[in-house]
Structure 1
Amino acid sequence: MITETPWWKTAVVYQIYPRSFADSNGDGIGDLPGIIDRLDHLAGLGVDVLWLSPVYPSPQDDNGYDISDYQDIDPVFGTLADFDRLLAAVHERGMKLVMDLVVNHTSDEHPWFLESRSGRDNPKRDWYWWRAEPNNWGSFFSGSAWELDQASGEHYLHLFSRKQPDLNWENPEVRQAVYAMMRWWLDRGVDGFRMDVINAISKAPGLPDGEVRNGSRYGDGSPHYLCGPRIHEFLQEMHREVFAGRPERILTIGEMPGVTVDQAKRFTDPERREVDMVFQFEHVGLDRGEGRFDVRPLQLTDLKASLGAWQDGLNSTGWNSLYWNNHDQPRIVSRFGDDRSEHRVRSATMLATVLHLHRGTPFIYQGEELGMTNAPFEKLDDFRDIESLNHYAEAVAAGADPEQVLSALRVAGRDNARTPMQWDAGPNAGFTNGLSWLPVNPDHVEINAAAAVADPDSVYHHYRRLIDLRHTEPVVAHGDFTMLMPDDEQVYAFTRRYRATELLVLGNFSGSPASVPVPAGWEGAETVIANVSGTGPLPSTLTLAPWEARVHRRTGGRG
Structure 2
Amino acid sequence: MSGVHHLPWWKQVVIYQVYPRSFADANGDGIGDLPGLIAKLDYLKALGVGALWLSPVYPSPMCDAGYDICDYMDIDPLFGNLADLDLLISEAHKRGLKLLMDFVPNHTSDQHPWFIESRASRANSRRDWYIWRDQPNNWRASIDGGSAWSWDEVSQQYYLHFFLPQQPDLNWHNPRVVEAMHQVLRFWLDRGVDGFRIDVVHCIGKDPTFADDPRCLAGETMVRINDQPYSHEVLRGLRRLVDHYPDDRVLIGEVNIRSTAQVAAYYGASDELHMSFNFPPLDAPWDPVVFRLCIREVKGCFPSHSAWPTWALSNHDNSRLRSRYGGSLRRTHAAAVLLLTLRGTPFIFQGDELALEDTQVTAQTRVDPGGRDGSRAPLPWKINAPHGWPGKTPWLPFPPDVSTLAVEAQEAIAESTLGLYRCLLSCRRESEALSIGEWEELPSHPQLLAYRRHSHSDERIICINFDQVEHAFPLAGQWITQISSDRQSEKELFKGTVAAEQAVILRRRENHHEQ
Q: Displacement, 1:463?
A: 1.0
Distance 2:142 2:96 in 1: 38
SS at match of 2:401: helix
Distance 2:215 2:257 in 1: 18
Q: 1:507 aligns with which of 454, 464, 470?
A: 464
Q: 2:290 aligns with which of 268, 279, 302?
A: 302
Q: 2:339 aligns with which of 344, 355, 377?
A: 355
Change in Cα spacing, 1:196 to 1:213, as seen in structure 2 (3 Å) is closer
Q: 2:194 aligns with which of 191, 194, 206?
A: 191
Partner of 1:94: 96
* 1:250 and 2:205 are equivalent in the alignment: no
Q: 1:320 aligns with which of 305, 309, 313?
A: 309
Q: Deviations over 1:342-362 (max 9, x none)?
A: x52x33221110111000011
Q: 1:381 aligns with which of 353, 361, 364?
A: 364
Q: Displacement, 1:37?
A: 1.3
Q: 1:530 aligns with which of 456, 463, 484?
A: 484
* 1:441 and 2:399 are equivalent in the alignment: yes
Matched-pair contact (CA < 8 Å) for 2:484–2:504: yes
Q: Displacement, 1:247?
A: 2.2
Distance 1:55 1:172 in 2: 26
Partner of 1:182: 185
More divergent stretch after superposition (40-49 vs 526-535): 526-535
Matched-pair contact (CA < 8 Å) for 2:444–2:473: no
Equivalent residues in 2 for 1:13-412, closer than 5 Å: 13-141=15-143, 142-212=145-215, 216=219, 220-221=221-222, 225-226=226-227, 228-240=228-240, 242-258=241-257, 260-268=259-267, 271-287=269-285, 298-316=286-304, 317-336=306-325, 338-339=326-327, 344=329, 346-377=330-361, 379-388=362-371
Q: Deviations over 1:124-157 (max 9, x none)?
A: 1111111110110111112111111011111111
- Aligned length, in residue pairs: 502
Partner of 2:474: 518
Matched-pair contact (CA < 8 Å) for 1:68–1:107: yes
Matched-pair contact (CA < 8 Å) for 2:200–2:223: no
Distance 1:36 1:286 in 2: 34
* 1:418 and 2:372 are equivalent in the alignment: no
Supply the AA of the counterpart residue of 1:527.
Answer: T
Distance 1:194 1:98 in 2: 7
Distance 1:484 1:374 in 2: 34
Distance 2:349 2:463 in 1: 23
Q: Deviations over 1:67-118 (max 9, x none)?
A: 0000000011111111111111111111111000001100000011111111
Change in Cα spacing, 1:86 to 1:208, as seen in structure 2 (3 Å) is same
Matched-pair contact (CA < 8 Å) for 1:261–1:314: no
Partner of 1:398: none
Distance 2:44 2:69 in 1: 27
| Aligned-CA RMSD value | 2.1
Distance 2:445 2:167 in 1: 44
Q: Displacement, 1:214?
A: 7.2
Supply the AA of the counterpart residue of 1:284.
Answer: L
Supply the AA of the counterpart residue of 1:274.
Answer: E
Supply the AA of the counterpart residue of 2:244.
Answer: G
- TM-score w.r.t. structure 1 length? 0.86
Q: Deviations over 1:496-516 (max 9, x none)?
A: 122233321111224x22313
SS at match of 2:294: helix
Partner of 1:468: 426
Distance 1:332 1:220 in 2: 24
Distance 1:260 1:318 in 2: 16
Distance 1:351 1:286 in 2: 12
Supply the AA of the counterpart residue of 2:442.
Answer: L
Please, which runs of 5 or more residues in structure 1 have no aligned partner? Answer: 288-297, 389-413
Distance 2:368 2:113 in 1: 25
Supply the AA of the counterpart residue of 1:236.
Answer: R
Q: Deviations over 1:201-247 (max 9, x none)?
A: 0111122111156764xx65458632x1212211111122x213322
Change in Cα spacing, 1:224 to 1:30, as seen in structure 2 (3 Å) is closer
More divergent stretch after superposition (96-105 vs 78-87): 78-87
Q: Displacement, 1:261?
A: 3.2
More divergent stretch after superposition (425-434 vs 75-84): 425-434
Matched-pair contact (CA < 8 Å) for 2:471–2:500: no
SS at match of 2:214: coil
Matched-pair contact (CA < 8 Å) for 1:21–1:30: yes
Q: Deviations over 1:288-314 (max 9, x none)?
A: xxxxxxxxxx54312220122113321
Change in Cα spacing, 1:431 to 1:312, as seen in structure 2 (3 Å) is farther
Matched-pair contact (CA < 8 Å) for 2:72–2:184: yes
Supply the AA of the counterpart residue of 2:149.
Answer: W
Change in Cα spacing, 1:163 to 1:53, as seen in structure 2 (3 Å) is same
Change in Cα spacing, 1:144 to 1:436, as seen in structure 2 (3 Å) is same
Distance 1:123 1:35 in 2: 40
